[in-house]
Amino acid sequence: MALLWGCTAWWTDLSDLYPSEPPSWVLQKTADGQAADALVPDTKFTASLDQLRLPLGPCHIKVLDLPAQYQQKADEKRLNYFLSADAKKKELEVHYPVLRDYLSVSRAWVSADKKTIAFLLYDALGDFILLSQDSGAHWTPPLYLGIHRLPEAWYGSLADSKLPLVSNGKVQIEVTIWKRDKTKGGSALEGYTYLWKKWNKYLSIRLDDLKRDTDGDGLTDLFEERILTNPYYSDTDKDGLPDGIDNQPLTPFPKKMTESDEVMLSLIPNSSGPLISSIFELWRGTKDLVGSDGDSMTYILTKKGIAHFTTPRSKPIPMIRTSVVLASGDCFPRITGDVRVIVLTKIAFQRYMKKFPDESHLYADSFDLRFDRSRKVGVLEQFDGNFGTTTVLWKECGRWMSKETQQIWCD
C-alpha cells in the first residue's frame, strides 16, 4: 500500500448500502476485511517503462528577471490568491464555458485587444496553458508546460501578476522560486524550511516548444516525457492504439478480460458503494448502462454498459485528463474510459519520483488487489489522495460481489 504515513482507520456499518454480506468463509480468509498475508498479490505487469532509463531533454524554459514596470512587493499573501475558489471560477465560467471541463485555474489573462485569452491550469502532473487567439472562438487543447525540466525547486505562479501571459509567441509566467532545505523535516500542512526564496522572476517558454508533437499522436513531446510514453513512436505499448486515444498507453490492451477487469466492472455501477478512485468518476455509466439483478438489488452493468467500458475509445483524451496509478499488477488493462491512466509498480514509482524531482509530492492513486489461491476471494485496498478504503470481494454464482469494510484517512 502506498502513502500510508499518518493514517487512521475507522470501521463502518454499511449494511443499508450493501444488502449482500460476505459469507463467513470469506471473512475468515480476509481477516475481517484486512488484507491477509495469505492472499496473493495480482502481480502480472506488462507496462513498457523504457522512458525511465532515458535522461530528460534540455531545458526549454528561460528563467528571467521581471521587468521593473511589472514588479510588485514581495508579499507571501499574494500566494493565497486563487482563482479556483468556487465563486471566482464560476464567474469565469459564465464568460468562458470552456473552463467547465477543468478543475483548477491558477491565472486568467486577456490581451488589451481582447483577441488573446489564456488560462493557467494546474493538475497533479503539473501546469498547463489553455489558449485562444481569436477572442475565444477556438481553443488549443491544454498544453503541458514541462516545468519538470527546471532545476529542482518550487515555482509558484502568481494569479495577480501584471505581466502579459502571452507575448510574441511566448508564454510568460511570473513566479516565486523557493528552494526547500531537505535536511530539515516538514510537511505540506506544517510547512517547510527554505534555503532561499526569489521574487520578481518569470519563466519564458516558446509556444512552438509546447506544441511540438514529433510522432503526431496528439500528445506533445514534453508531456510524453512526463508520462513515460515514447515521443518518437505513436504507439508506445504496440497494441494498435495510438497513445493519444489509448487510456492505458503503457499497458497493452489484452485480447481477453482479466479477473482484475471483472472486479473493476463489478465496482463501477456502485456509485454509492465501494470507493472507486477519482479516475473512475467519468467512467460511471448513465442509467441505461446500469441495472439490478433483482434478487439482492446489486447494481450491475448491462451488456451495453460492459461494451461501453471495455471498448477502446476513438476520440483523443485530453492531456490534462491523466492519472498515475500505483499497483502491483496491470490493475484493469481492458477497462476503457475518458481518462488516461499511467500504471506503475511501487519500484517504478520510486524511480519516477527520482527522475522528476518536484517540490510538491505527486499523489498517485494506489490499488493493491489480492486474491486467495482459488481466485474466488479477494481484497482491494486503494487510496485516492488522502482517502482510502478496504473492500472485500467474493465470487458468487459467477459474479463478483463486494463490501467496503474499512475507510482510511491520511492527514
Which tens digits make up the pLDDT trace of 27-86? 888 865 555 567 888 888 999 999 999 999 999 999 999 999 999 999 988 887 666 666
This prediction has a pTM of 0.89
Check residues 339 and 49 and name the one with the higher pLDDT.
Answer: 49
Whether 114 has a pLDDT exceeding 90, the answer reads yes
Which tens digits make up the pLDDT trace of 178-226? 999 989 988 766 788 999 999 999 999 999 999 999 999 999 999 999 9
Range from 18-22, 92-96, 138-142 that averages highest in pLDDT: 138-142
Within a 10 A sphere around the Cβ of 378, how many other Cβ atoms? 26
3-state secondary structure the chain: CCCCCCEEEEECCCCCCCCCCCCHHHHHHHCCCCCCCCCEECCCCCCCCHHHHCCCCCCCEEEEECCHHHCCCCCHHHHHCCCCCHHHHHHHHHHCHHHHHCCCEEEEEECCCCCCEEEEEEECCEEEEEEECCCCCCCCCCEECCHHHCCCCEEEECCCCCCCCEECCEEEEEEEEEEECCCCCCECCCECCEEEEEEEEEEEEEHHHHHCCCCCCCCCHHHHHHHCCCCCCCCCCCCCCCCCCCCCCCCCCCCCCCHHHHHHHHHCCCCCCCCCCHHHHHHCCCHHHEEECCCCCCEEECHHHHHHHHCCCCCCCCCCCEEEEEECCCCCCCCCCCCEEEEECHHHHHHHHHHCCCCCCCCCEEEEEEECCCCCEEEEEEEECCEEEEEEEEEECCEEEEEEEEEEEEC
Tell me, what amino acid is at 250? L
Range from 136-140, 285-289, 318-322 that averages highest in pLDDT: 136-140
Check residues 212 and 126 and name the one with the higher pLDDT.
Answer: 212
- Can you tell me the distance from the alpha carbon of 391 to that of 378, in angstroms, rounded to the nearest whole number? 8
Whether 12 has a pLDDT exceeding 50, the answer reads no
Give the mean pLDDT of the chain: 84
Check residues 228 and 383 and name the one with the higher pLDDT.
Answer: 228
Nearest to 351 by CA among 147, 50, 43, 127: 50
Task: Please report, for the chain, the start and end positions of each structural domain, with discontinuous segments joined by +.
Answer: 7-48+237-410, 58-223
Check residues 263 and 273 and name the one with the higher pLDDT.
Answer: 263
Confidence of residue 150 (pLDDT cuts 50, 70, 90): very high
Within a 10 A sphere around the Cβ of 193, how many other Cβ atoms? 11
User: Average pLDDT, stretch 140-147?
Assistant: 95
Whether 6 has a pLDDT exceeding 70, the answer reads no
Phi and psi (nearest 5°) for 168? 50, 45
Whether 274 has a pLDDT exceeding 70, the answer reads no
Whether 95 has a pLDDT exceeding 80, the answer reads yes
- Can you tell me the distance from the alpha carbon of 245 to that of 314, in angstroms, rounded to the nearest whole number? 6
- Which of 255-288 are b and which e, b meaning 16 or more Cβ less than 10 Å from the residue's Cβ? eebbbbbbbbbbbbbbeebbbbbebbeebbbeee
pLDDT at 363: 74
Which tens digits make up the pLDDT trace of 291-303? 666 655 667 788 8
* Burial grade of 58 (CB within 10 A; 0-12, 13-18, 19 or more): exposed
Confidence of residue 139 (pLDDT cuts 50, 70, 90): very high
pLDDT at 381: 85
Residue count of the chain, please give it: 411
pLDDT at 364: 82
Whether 136 has a pLDDT exceeding 90, the answer reads yes
Which tens digits make up the pLDDT trace of 352-390? 999 998 766 677 888 888 898 888 898 888 887 677 888
Q: Do the Cβ atoms of 136 and 117 come closer than 8 Å?
A: yes
Whether 404 has a pLDDT exceeding 80, the answer reads no
Check residues 227 and 404 and name the one with the higher pLDDT.
Answer: 227
